Amino acid sequence: MQIYAVTQSGKRSAALFAALLAVVITVAVTGCSSSPKRPVLYPNQHLNRVGGHVSQQDINACMQMARTSGVNVTKDGEVGRKAASGAAIGGASTAAYGAFRGGDVGERALAGAAAGAAAGAVRGGIQSTEQSPLFMNFVNKCLSDKGYSVIGWQ
């Protein structure tokens, strides 16, 4: 019978491995996300007059105008920001817990930071594929100026 001892460096390695695994899973999930949402138009007089083909061309033109104006289609940058905030929250909260509970405060802070970073990276990765509200507002305004009525996005 063999007995395996878990060393302090082994605990740290396991925490870092878990954080790295969470980031890899996030990248895989967000990389397989569906295509961006598009506006849904209410069948008002303008849409009925121009028809579906022209309306789709106008939607494409408005979306392109938003992009060329520097508006991001998705919530880019969420992964890094969420991972950093998760690490800060996880590290601080587990360090505080460790200070009251006893034990190695630094080790607990490191473990909390790794767990927080992993959770933040997953949350940020998922949110980074969501449509930017600014992009949707830009396209809605553009289409409204052309005579369309946007009732939502899907």
Do 55 and 113 lie in a common domain? no
Do 19 and 85 lie in a common domain? yes
Q: Which band of pLDDT confidence, cut at 50, 70 and 90, is reported for residue 139? A: very high
* Joined tokens for residue 142: 């553009």
SS3 state at 76: coil
What per-residue confidence (pLDDT) applies to 24? 56
Do 46 and 110 lie in a common domain? no
Do 29 and 82 lie in a common domain? yes
Q: What is the mean pLDDT of the chain?
A: 76
Do 82 and 123 lie in a common domain? yes
User: Looking at the predicted structure, is the pLDDT value of residue 80 above 80?
Assistant: no
Do 83 and 105 lie in a common domain? yes
Return the amino acid letter for 14: A
* Joined tokens for residue 109: 């802070």
Do 81 and 16 lie in a common domain? yes
- The predicted-structure confidence for 16-70, as pLDDT tens digits, reads as follows 666 666 555 555 544 555 578 999 999 999 999 999 999 999 999 999 999 999 9
User: Looking at the predicted structure, is the pLDDT value of residue 81 above 80?
Assistant: no
Cα(24)–Cα(111) distance, rounded to whole angstroms? 19
What domain count does the chain have? 2
pTM score over 0.75 = no
What per-residue confidence (pLDDT) applies to 75? 81
Do 20 and 80 lie in a common domain? yes
Return the amino acid letter for 71: V
